[in-house]
Structures are given as structure tokens and as C-alpha cells.
Structure 1
Amino acid sequence: MSIELKSQDEIALMREAGRIVCEILDELEKAVAPGVTTWELDALAEKLIYKKGAKPAFKGYRGFPSCLCASVNHEVVHGIPSKRRKLAAGDLMKLDFGVVYRGFYGDSARTVPVGKVSPEAEGLVKATREALNKAIAVMVPGNRMGDIGHAVQSHVEVRGYSVVRTLSGHGIGRKLHEQPEVPNYGQQGAGMKLRPGMVLAVEPMVNLGTPEVEVLEDDWTEVTLDRKLSAHFEHTIAITEAGPEVLTRRG
């Protein structure tokens, strides 16, 4: 397996790509509200991408039709924005978004409650966000890939949730998806060693019920098999000698 290590100059460019992703996601999150369509969110994302001098990472990728992956409630990932899909109070809106800037990719996702959501939904979102933060904390040189997955899995499973096993995070750089894959489950101390220069998109996808998913007839949208809620958070992270640097987070 060939892993492309990034130079400091390349990470600096990815930092700019990540900043743009974060800024646009902030605007999209503000726009999430009852009555808004997922198509409107995608249109806003595309407008902001070009305003910031970047290009969409997702639109046209393997035929995907939109700039934004907009997945609601039991939709895990890869939801296609639609004029017919209006958000309602109580929904969980998953915003998965990326750009290309000066030849490098940034990729991030967040789950946004639409108005007031159920305590059940709140708990799922909180646990998934915490799981990503715990994964980031172990991304130091000398640790192993299994430490990342274990951090996610151990945090959510003890709370009664499940991690999607058929989808994973990934390396990122000059391509949206590079080696290695970054599963959301694993054993501590197992797998390849983490090295400075690695840049990984880590993205826990956590379900309220079964970990099993299926793809809808649009050939893109992945949904939970039991149609229970799912949450998703993602950051692009550079592994450095000084520790993990989150490239898609403010400050």
C-alpha cells in the first residue's frame, strides 16, 4: 500500500482548503431551518465555493450530481439534494462537503439538528461528535491505525450505538480518496503506524440501531437498514511531530 506523505508546503495548502470548507459549512449550518430544501443548501454551497476561489470536490465525482451530500435522519451519507426534500423540525441534517483549492482537497461533515430534536437524537449527535474528538486525540506519530477506530468504536458502543462498518474514512490530498482506509472500528495497537505527513479524513458514522446499511435506488444514498437515525461527523487531520492538526476546524 502506497501512502503519500505531505510536505509542510502541501499541508499549508490543505490548511487553506480546510479553512474554506469550514467557513462554508458554518454558513450552511446557519441556513439549516424548517422549510428549507436540501437543494437550497446545495445551491448556497456552490455559490460560496466559487466566491472563495475554490472548486467543488463532490460534483461530478464518480457521477455525483451535487456539491453537497445532504443526508437526513436515517440517511447515513451521500444523500442527493432535492427541491422536494424540505427539512422539518426534529430532523437531523447531515452536511458532508468538500472543496479543491490549488490542487488539494479538504473534506468535512457535521450533523445539524433542525430546530428542537428528541433527546434520543441529541444523545446520538453528542456521542458521534465526541467519538471524532477522541479519534483525533490518538492521532500522534507512533500510534496505530487501529487506535483511531478503537477510539470511535469504544466510545459509541458502550452507549448502545453502532458504527457503520462498510464505510470508512480515508487518506486525502491531491485526490479526494487516497490510501489508507480509516475504519471506525479496530483494535488498539493494530494496523499501520501513524507517521508525520499523513493526512486523513476521519469520519465516524454512528447509528442508533443496527450498523447495517443499504443503498437506495438512486445508487448513492446510504440508509440504515432498520431506518433508525444516523449521525456523521468528519474532519481532515494532518499528523505532525507536534500532534494532530485539524485542518477543517476554525482556529
Structure 2
Amino acid sequence: MKGPILTATDIRVSFRKENQRRLFGRERQQVLRGISLALEEGECLGIIGESGSGKSTLGRVLCGLLKPEAGTVRINGLDIYGRHNHRENAQLHHSLSVVFQDYTSSANPRFRVRHIIGESLRVLERIVGSKLDRERRTAEVLEQVGLPSSFAARYPHELSGGQLQRVCIARALAIRPRIILLDEAISSLDASTQVQIMDLLLELRRSLGLSYLFITHDLTSITYLCDRVAFMNNGEIVERVDDIRHIAEIRHPYARLLLESVMGIGVEYGSGDNAQAQWAAAAAC
């Protein structure tokens, strides 16, 4: 590891409570309660929690879509919500891409694949300040995600769910990011396709030197893909595992409950290559 590529410090977010009788009611619900974390260069950090735990809100903060009420998010030392010159802005926009859960809504059904990927290429052109060979770059990223260049002419409805999510990953790769935030990026896929996409993500991480923030509610995918994991509950990180091989040693009651719901009480679960073999075997059943 070369040191943190992304850090979040004391992140706090609250929203005005719904169903308040007064139009300008001031009562607020705390959604994130002082979250701090660091993503090391070249690693995959898993963030796991149930619906309502705050993990997706944290994801929005980390990728620049939601400014926190307090705290800082830094990529390569730059505060992503600070004021920057053109070069620094370009560096930030070049650093992180996002792949969302709902690949059907994140890909315009009226666009061919070349235009879906072209959305990112237009961003990259603004960053580098020059025109790109879009056809060549599109073919490159399609090849990286295991799709032939001929898919550039297809529409989303002509693709399977797994193929369309590969296109969304290709779009994320197009700007040559250093970090990809994956927000429930495999949860809408069937089990066998999930394994294929996770294997793709592992290979891309190795070949391109990527770092991942992997947000999910699924502990089995965490053990397959991640080096470390943070458990979130009620807007807080309640437990951290800094070596996924020690996942069975967690102690917080909420984290234990998640673990036991997957493993069964008292059952040891593998990690690394062993965990991947177990996961693939389960998916084939």
C-alpha cells in the first residue's frame, strides 16, 4: 500500500424530518454521525449496512454529490468540496467514477452504447483540454470489460443485465479514474452474473491499479472482493475489519448479526481465494 488516496474525516449529515406539521419545522434527523475512513491506494474497502444505515448517503458525500454539514473529504489531499483552480478541479474530476445499482436507469435507453460511454469521454476531453479519438477509446474500454467493440452500436434493450452493467463499468473507466465507487453495483444481478462481474472487477483492479469503495448490504460479496470492511449502523461505523481474513472475529452485536445471517452461528467462513471458491460454488447451486 502507498498510503491513503481518499480520506473522509468526521462526516456529518442530517435531513429535515418528514411529516412535520409546520412547513418550516426545524427538527432534523441525523443520518451520518461523524464518519471517518481512509481508502488506501490499490485496495478495495467495503462499506456494509442494511437499508437506512446511511451507507448510500455516505457514498453520495464521498463522490461529491452531497456536501456534508461538517467534515472533509480529500482525494490526494484536495478537499473535494473546497475551492480550486482549473488544474485542481480537473484532477478531482479525473480521480473518481461511480457505478450505481440500477444499470437500467443509469443508461439512457435512447442512446447507443457508444453514446453512453461518450458521456464520460466528453468529461475527459474537458479535463485534458483536447479532442479524443472517441471510437478508439470506446473500443478500448469495451475490451477491458469483456465486450466486443461491435457492442458500441447496440442499445441498452439489446443487452442482458450483466452486459449492460459491464457497459456502465466501461463508462466509469473511460475517464481513466484512480477510484471507482460501486454503490450496490451487483445487487440487481443474478448470482452467477454477480460472480462474473466481481471477477471482472478483481481483474480490472489488478491490471489498472484501481482503488474501490464497495458499498453493499451483502456480506458474501464483501468477503469475495474486499480487503477491509467497515460496518455501518444508524449513521455510524460500528466495527472495522482491517484484514478480511479476520472477518469471523468481529465483536459488535450488529456486525455479528449480519455475519451470522450469512454463515450460521458458529460456522467459520473462508477468505481470499477460499471465500471466492465458496461463493462461486454457492452461486452455481
Which TM-score applies when normalising by structure 2?
0.32
Could you say which structure has the higher helix fraction?
2
Q: Which has the larger radius of gyration?
A: 2
